[in-house]
C-alpha cells in the first residue's frame, strides 16, 4: 500500500497554486515586463501608466541609481554617467568596442580582452551590472503589481545572440536575483504571442528589427508546437543605426567636425525624433543648437529612405539566407509578423511586404509583442497552465567550432541545428607522455578562427602518460535549451574524467559574479548565506514536489516494494532537513541523496513516457491524420 499523504501538514504545496511568473523583454532601447493574470497576458505598467521602461540607467555621484524615463532625461546633460543601449555591449570585450562604439559617449576601463567597464562617478560598471539594474527595476514593478514573490522569469534575447551574449544576460538575471526559467528568442516569443491567439498552423516568418539588433526566424506552427526551422540576423544592426545614418547626414549638412559628448547626444536625439516624425509626415524640420545659434534643415521622407536603404537591404539578405537554411520557398510563408519599434518605419514595412509578397501582420503592438509572448511561456513553465499545449523547439543560431592547425575553425555543430544538442569529438596526443591538451572553442560561420567569436579556451589535464596517439580523449559539447554551451571530457582508454576548466573569453567568471553579488548584498544588508539557504530550500521543495507527483502517477507501476521504501525514506529525510536545517550545504546533500536514490526510477519513467508516446501513436495514427 503506497503512502500517498507524506507531506508535513501545512507544508504541502497545493498542486494548483498559482505561481507568479513574468516575461521580460530586455531591449536595447526599451524594456518591458508582462505576466499572465486570470488567463490573460498583459504588460505591467508603472505608476504613471507606462508599460515601456527606457533601457537607460543613470549613476549619480551619491550612488543613486535611476532607471528608465528619469534616467533618459539626463542623457544630454550628463552623458558620461547615463548608460543607454547597454545591450549592445553585452558579451563584448573591450577590443570589440572599436567596431561598435565610435559614437558611445562613455569612457571605458578594463583590459583589451576582458570585460569593459563603463566609468561613471558612482564607480565602474560592466554591461552585465547595468542590465541587472534594469532587470531589478522590472522585477520591483512586477512584485508590486502582482503582489508577491516571483517564482521565475522568461527573459528574451535576440535569436542571433551568441553564447557570450546569452551567458551575460543570464548573469545579469542572477545579479538581479531573478530565477531564469528560460532564455527565449525574441522572434519565437513574438510567434507565441501571435500563434497562441489565433491557433494558426503553417510556416511563418518573424521579422524583428529592434533598437540595436535584427532577427529573422522561420517557424513551423503545428498543434501548439513552435518549431524554429532557421534563424538569422545581425546582432549589431537596428533602429539605432537608422539614427546614426541620419546623425551623420546632419553632421555633414551642418559641417560639424568636432563632437563633444553632449553635442553627440543632442544630434542623435534629434535624429531619432526626425525618424519617428517621418512615420507620419513626408518631411520634417531638423534643428540643432550650435554654439548658441540655431541650425535648421529639412529632411524629406525620400532622403531618409535613401539614407537607410542599405540597412534595410542588409536585413532582406538575412531573410533570404534564413529561408534557404529552412529549405522553405518564399511562397510557402503564410504570414509575416513584424516585431520591434523600428518596424514602424514605413520603408521597412514596404520593403518587407514586397520581399515576402504578403501584407505583414502588425495587430499586436510591436513594442509589446515580445514581452507578451515571453509571459505566456513563463506561465506554462511555472506550471500554471498544465493543459497548455505549447512547446518551443529552437535552434542554434551560429555554428560552434574549434580551432585547428593553422588558425582554421572546424565546425562541430552547424547553425540551425535543433537544441538541445550534444556532439562528441575524439582527440589524441601528439607527443609521448603528453598529459594536457588545449582546446579553443569559437562561434561563427567564417573559416578563420580570427573572424569567429572566441567563446572559451580550456585545457584538458590529467591525461595518463602514453605514447603519442594512444590516448583517446572524448570531448562532449552540450548546448542546452537556452542555447548555452558546456563542455566535458573523458579519456576513454583509462576512463579518467579529464578536468575541464572552461575560461570564458569574454564575460565574467563565476567568482566575479559571486563577488558582485556579495557587494550588492552588503549594500542591501542581506546575507549571502541566507540567499544560498533560500535557494536550496526552493530547490528542495521543487524536488519533493516533483517526486511526489511522479510517485503518485506511476510509483506503483514502476517501482518494486524495496525501491519504493528506499525512495520514501530518502524523501522523508529531505523533507525533515529542509524544515530544520539552517545550512545550505546539508540541504544540498539531502537533495543529492534523494536524486541518487531516484536515478533509476527517473530514467525508467522517461523511457516509459517515450515508449507510450510512440506506441500510442501507432494506434491512433489514422485519427490523428484525419484531424490534421
Q: Which residues are catalytic?
A: 25, 87, 186, 208
Of 200, 248, 365, 480, the residue at the interface with another protein (CB under 8 A) is 480
Cβ–Cβ < 8 Å for 417, 372: no
Entry field: residues in the chain: 628
**Least distance in Å: CB of 447 to another protein?**
14
Query: Cα separation of 283 and 286, whole Å?
Result: 10
Q: Does 595 bind another protein (CB under 8 A)?
A: yes
Report how far residue 266's alpha carbon sits from residue 287's, in angstroms, rounded to the nearest whole number. 10
Quickly count: other Cβ atoms within 10 Å of residue 306's Cβ.
Answer: 13
Element (H, E) at 410: strand 408-413
Q: Of 253, 303, 301, 313, which Cα lies nearest the Cα of 276?
A: 301
| By CB under 8 A, residue 478 contacts another protein | yes
Interaction between residue 320 and another protein (CB under 8 A): yes
602 contacts another protein (rule: CB under 8 A):
yes
The stretch near another protein (CB under 8 A) out of 130-138, 314-322, 509-517, 555-563 is 314-322
In this structure, the number of other CB atoms found within 10 A of the CB of residue 418 comes to 13
Question: Cβ of 203: how many Cβ atoms within 10 Å?
Answer: 19
**61/613 with CB nearer another protein:** 613
Residue 603 touching another protein (CB under 8 A): yes
Contact call for residue 123 and another protein (CB under 8 A): no
What is the closest distance, in whole angstroms, from the C-beta atom of residue 106 to another protein in the complex?
A: 34
Is residue 558 at the binding interface for another protein, with CB under 8 A as the rule? no
In this structure, are residues 317 and 207 in contact, taking their beta carbons and an 8 Å threshold? no
Counting contacts by CB under 8 A, is residue 252 touching another protein?
A: no
Q: Tell whether residue 552 is a contact of another protein (CB under 8 A).
A: no
Residue 63 sits in the site that holds another protein (CB under 8 A)? no
**Residue 602 backbone phi and psi in degrees, to 5:** -60, -45
Task: From 191-199, 417-425, 499-507, 579-587, give the range in contact with another protein by CB under 8 A.
Answer: 417-425
In angstroms, what is the minimal distance from the CB of 25 to another protein? 19
Q: What is the Cα 600 distance to its own chain's centre?
A: 33
Q: Minimal distance in Å, beta carbon 159 to another protein? A: 17
For residues 283 and 275, give the distance between their C-alpha atoms in angstroms, rounded to a whole number. 10
Q: Does 14 bind another protein (CB under 8 A)?
A: no
Q: Report, in Å, the least distance between residue 19 CB and another protein.
A: 9
Residue 427: CB minimum distance to another protein, A: 16
What is the DSSP secondary structure assignment for residue 114, as one 8-state letter?
S
313 counts as binding another protein under rule CB under 8 A:
yes
Whether residue 213 contacts residue 158, with contact meaning beta carbons closer than 8 Å, is answered with yes
Q: How many C-beta atoms lie closer than 10 Å to residue 316's C-beta? A: 16
Q: Give the β-pairing of 152-157 and 180-185.
A: parallel
Where does this chain bind another protein (CB under 8 A)? 152, 181-182, 222-223, 225, 227, 310, 313, 316-317, 320-321, 324, 380-383, 391-393, 417-422, 478, 480-481, 539, 542-543, 545-547, 591, 595, 598-599, 602-603, 606-607, 609-610, 612-615, 617-618, 624
Amino acid at each position: 500500500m503506497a503512502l500517498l499523504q507524506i507531506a508535513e501538514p501545512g507544508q504541502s504545496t497545493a498542486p494548483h497554486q498559482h505561481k507568479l511568473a513574468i516575461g521580460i523583454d530586455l531591449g536595447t532601447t526599451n524594456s518591458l515586463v508582462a505576466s499572465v493574470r486570470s488567463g490573460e497576458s498583459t504588460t505591467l505598467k508603472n505608476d504613471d501608466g507606462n508599460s515601456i521602461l527606457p533601457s537607460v540607467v543613470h549613476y549619480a555621484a551619491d550612488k543613486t541609481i535611476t532607471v528608465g524615463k528619469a534616467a533618459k532625461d539626463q542623457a544630454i546633460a550628463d552623458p558620461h554617467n547615463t548608460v543607454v543601449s547597454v545591450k549592445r555591449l553585452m558579451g563584448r570585450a573591450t577590443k570589440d568596442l572599436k567596431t561598435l562604439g565610435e559614437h558611445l559617449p562613455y569612457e571605458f576601463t578594463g583590459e583589451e580582452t576582458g570585460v569593459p567597464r563603463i566609468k561613471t562617478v558612482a564607480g565602474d560598471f560592466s554591461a552585465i551590472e547595468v542590465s541587472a539594474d534594469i532587470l531589478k527595476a522590472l522585477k520591483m514593478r512586477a512584485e508590486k503589481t502582482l503582489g508577491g514573490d516571483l517564482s521565475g522569469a522568461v527573459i528574451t534575447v535576440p535569436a542571433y545572440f551568441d553564447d557570450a551574449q546569452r551567458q551575460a544576460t543570464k548573469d545579469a538575471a542572477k545579479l538581479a536575483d531573478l530565477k531564469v526559467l528560460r532564455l527565449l528568442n525574441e522572434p519565437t516569443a513574438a510567434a507565441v504571442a501571435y500563434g497562441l491567439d489565433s491557433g494558426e498552423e503553417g510556416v511563418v516568418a518573424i521579422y524583428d528589427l529592434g533598437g540595436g539588433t535584427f532577427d529573422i526566424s522561420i517557424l513551423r506552427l503545428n498543434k501548439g508546437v513552435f518549431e524554429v526551422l532557421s534563424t538569422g540576423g545581425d546582432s549589431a544592426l537596428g533602429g539605432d543605426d537608422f539614427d546614426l545614418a541620419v546623425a551623420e547626414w546632419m553632421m555633414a549638412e551642418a559641417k560639424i567636425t568636432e563632437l563633444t559628448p553632449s553635442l553627440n547626444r543632442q544630434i542623435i536625439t534629434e535624429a531619432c525624433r526626425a525618424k519617428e516624425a517621418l512615420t507620419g509626415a513626408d518631411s520634417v524640420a531638423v534643428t540643432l543648437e550650435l554654439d548658441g545659434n540655431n541650425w535648421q534643415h529639412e529632411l524629406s521622407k525620400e532622403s531618409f529612405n535613401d539614407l537607410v536603404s542599405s540597412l534595410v537591404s542588409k536585413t532582406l539578405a538575412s531573410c533570404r539566407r534564413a529561408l534557404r537554411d529552412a529549405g522553405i520557398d518564399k511562397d510557402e510563408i503564410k504570414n509575416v509578423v513584424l516585431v520591434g519599434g523600428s518596424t514602424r518605419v514605413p520603408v521597412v514595412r514596404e520593403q518587407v511586404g514586397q520581399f515576402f509578397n504578403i501584407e505583414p501582420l502588425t495587430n499586436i503592438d510591436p513594442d509589446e509583442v515580445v514581452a507578451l509572448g515571453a509571459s505566456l511561456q513563463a506561465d506554462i513553465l511555472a506550471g500554471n497552465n498544465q493543459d497548455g499545449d505549447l512547446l518551443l523547439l529552437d535552434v542554434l543560431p551560429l555554428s560552434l567550432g574549434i580551432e585547428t592547425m593553422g588558425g582554421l575553425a572546424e565546425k562541430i555543430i552547424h547553425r540551425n541545428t535543433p537544441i538541445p544538442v550534444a556532439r562528441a569529438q575524439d582527440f589524441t596526443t601528439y607527443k609521448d607522455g603528453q598529459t594536457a591538451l588545449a582546446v579553443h572553442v569559437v562561434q561563427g560561420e567564417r573559416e578563420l578562427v580570427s573572424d569567429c567569436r572566441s567563446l572559451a579556451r580550456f585545457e584538458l589535464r590529467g591525461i595518463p602518460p602514453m605514447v603519442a596517439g594512444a590516448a583517446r580523449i572524448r570531448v562532449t559539447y552540450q548546448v542546452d535549451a537556452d542555447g548555452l554551451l558546456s563542455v566535458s571530457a573523458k579519456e576513454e582508454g583509462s576512463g579518467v574524467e579529464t578536468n575541464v576548466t572552461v575560461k570564458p573569453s569574454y564575460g565574467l567568471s563565476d567568482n566575479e559574479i559571486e563577488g558582485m553579488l556579495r557587494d550588492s548584498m552588503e549594500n542591501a544588508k542581506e546575507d549571502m548565506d541566507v540567499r544560498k539557504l533560500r535557494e536550496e530550500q526552493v530547490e528542495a521543495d521543487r524536488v519533493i514536489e516533483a517526486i511526489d507527483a511522479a510517485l503518485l502517477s506511476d510509483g506503483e507501476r514502476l517501482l518494486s516494494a524495496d525501491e519504493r521504501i528506499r525512495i520514501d525514506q530518502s524523501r522523508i529525510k529531505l523533507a525533515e532537513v529542509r524544515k530544520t536545517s539552517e545550512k545550505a550545504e546539508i540541504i544540498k546533500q539531502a537533495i543529492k541523496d534523494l536524486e541518487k536514490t531516484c536515478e533509476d526510477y527517473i530514467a525508467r519513467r522517461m523511457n516509459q513516457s517515450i515508449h507510450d508516446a510512440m506506441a500510442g501513436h501507432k494506434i491512433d495514427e489514422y485519427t490523428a491524420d484525419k484531424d490534421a
